[in-house]
Amino acid sequence: MIDPRKLAAIDIAFLGCKFTITEFAAAVFLCPALGVFVLYRSRSPWQIALGLYLISLGMNYVPMLLYAVAITRRRSARAELGEELNDKGRAIRKYRRQSLFLLVPLFVAAVALRGARRRG
């Protein structure tokens, strides 16, 4: 299963907090904006589907952005990953596969919401 918090942590650990937060913030705002634009200009069911997909894609990045900000504030990216960083190649492969779930509409948002309900 996907762990969005660790997915954000590995991005921060290897790409840096500024790049990761910028990437996630851009996805949160630009994907829905593009989706609304496509919906506004749509003339076919495929264009409507694309617009809705882009909006839902941006929603997947909301929890990623929140996790990235929280991890950056605590400076805990490496601690979040723990022993997994002992084998960097394996960790990168694992989370690269998990990052594909970001392309599934609302999946990461739903997983993060479910995780938040369990914790709190």
User: What is the pLDDT, as a whole number, of residue 120?
Assistant: 64
Give the predicted TM-score (pTM) of the model. Answer: 0.90
Q: For residues 21 and 68, what is the distance between their CA atoms, to the nearest angstrom?
A: 6
| Look-up of token digits 């605590």 | 74
Q: Does residue 73 have a pLDDT over 90?
A: yes
Q: Are 68 and 11 in contact (CB under 8 A)?
A: yes
Q: Check whether 74 has a pLDDT greater than 70.
A: yes
Each domain of the chain, given as residue ranges in start order, spans 4-119
Quick check: 6 and 81 in contact, CB under 8 A? Answer: yes
Residue 67: per-residue pLDDT: 96
